[in-house]
Amino acid sequence: MSPPACNVSAMAQTKQQILAILSEAGSHPRHQFGQNFMIDQNLVRLVADAGAPSPGDVVIEVGPGTGTLTEELLSRGAEVVAVEIDRDLAATLRTRLADRPGFRLIEGDALAGKHELNAELASAVSAARSAGRPVKLIANLPYNIASPLVIELLLAGVDLLAFTVQREVADRFRGKPATEDYGTLTVMAQMLAEVEILRVLSPQAFWPAPKIESALVRLVRRDRLGAKARPFGEFLRRLFSARRKMLRKTLGELCDNAESVLTGLSIPPTARPEEVDPDSLLRLFGEVSRGIEP
């Protein structure tokens, strides 16, 4: 059986339909899994449009819930790899969508650790990339795993990520130096991708309504780190763990000539990590890492 034609939208689930699906599954929104279901039908289409799924694409959807966005993605001809940690919802998805061409379900956490993808998910991404197929994340991300998951997917080689997340996290993806939003997540995201915030979303677009605004974010992979990505990430985490500590003091724990390295890069030795732009931090990492044994 061939996949559905592209651009034929599915009908997004209403709040009443989501309630009925949850009731039938004997389930309810679980705070520990960061579950907030999309109930705005226009938003479902908007999120799908942001990711532009098409036949031949492998689309990862983390936190598919009751499957409203999943059905929209399948209707556009994409192959969907859905990752659901909630056993009740996984069983519901398996029942409702098992016969849909292009649907694959991974039951479990999308992350095997804070900085490691679920092995089955990592294998799916690797297989798609080896086959030369575009790989995308299109999802209403569970709030509790969004930050580490996005970076791990970029590191794994995912080409485009379009997702909803709480606004405060969205602001961190595009943060500027010398602001509270700026940190390790900011620098890594901006070194691995082009970051856009497409729209701010009202809490009423979801059920249960979160207490804060959300945002629709799109990241297009533009990797400027290559093999340096993971050690650079570790370097950033060390710096930003003391974000208001002067760099000459933090770097003094890593090399003997911290002050001269900083001066040579035109970074004031009294600067703090939160005040230094991503390009300068990458140059600083290059200089410091030369003096550190692998």
- pLDDT digit string, tens, across residues 245-278: 999 999 988 888 899 999 999 999 999 999 999 9
Q: Report the 10 Å Cβ neighbour count for 145.
A: 19
Tokens 């979801």 — which residue?
206
Q: How confident is the model at residue 149 (pLDDT cuts 50, 70, 90)?
A: very high
Running DSSP on this structure, what letter comes out for residue 293?
A: -
The helix/strand/coil state of 134 is coil
CATH 1.10.8.100 boundaries in the chain: 228-290
Closest CA to 276 of 171, 173, 172, 178: 178
Residues 188, 46, 206, 90, CA torsion sign: negative
Q: Looking at residue 291, what is its pLDDT?
A: 54
Q: Reply yes or no on whether the pLDDT at 95 is more than 50.
A: yes
In the chain, count H helices and then E strands: 12, 11
- List the end-to-end C-alpha distance of the chain, in Å, as a whole number: 52
Q: Looking at residue 29, what is its pLDDT?
A: 73
Q: Reply yes or no on whether the pLDDT at 143 is more than 60.
A: yes
Give the integer Cα–Cα distance in Å for 279 and 224. Answer: 10
Closest CA to 215 of 172, 159, 183: 172
Average of per-residue pLDDT values in the chain: 91
What average pLDDT does the segment 57-77 reach? 96
Asked if 153 and 137 count as a contact pair (C-beta separation under 8 A), the reply is yes
Give the integer Cα–Cα distance in Å for 4 and 215. Answer: 29
Contacts of 157 by beta carbon, 8 Å cutoff, 6+ apart: 125, 126, 129, 135, 221
CATH 3.40.50.150 boundaries in the chain: 15-224
Residues 115, 121, 127, 130, CA torsion sign: negative
Running DSSP on this structure, what letter comes out for residue 199?
A: E
- Which stretches does DSSP call E strand in the chain? 37-38, 58-62, 79-84, 103-107, 111-113, 116-117, 135-140, 160-166, 193-201, 206-207, 214-221
Q: Which CATH number is 15-224 given?
A: 3.40.50.150
Give the integer Cα–Cα distance in Å for 111 and 141. Answer: 13
For residue 196, the one-letter residue type is E
Q: How confident is the model at residue 26 (pLDDT cuts 50, 70, 90)?
A: confident
What does the CA dihedral 150, 151, 152, 158 come to, rounded to 10 degrees?
Answer: 70
Q: Looking at residue 36, what is its pLDDT?
A: 86
Q: Encode pLDDT of 152-190 as tens digits.
A: 999 999 999 999 999 999 999 999 999 999 999 999 999
Q: Which CATH number is 228-290 given?
A: 1.10.8.100
Backbone angles phi, psi at 35, to 5 degrees: -85, 120
Query: In which element (H, E) is residue 72 found?
Result: helix 68-75
What average pLDDT does the segment 211-227 reach? 96
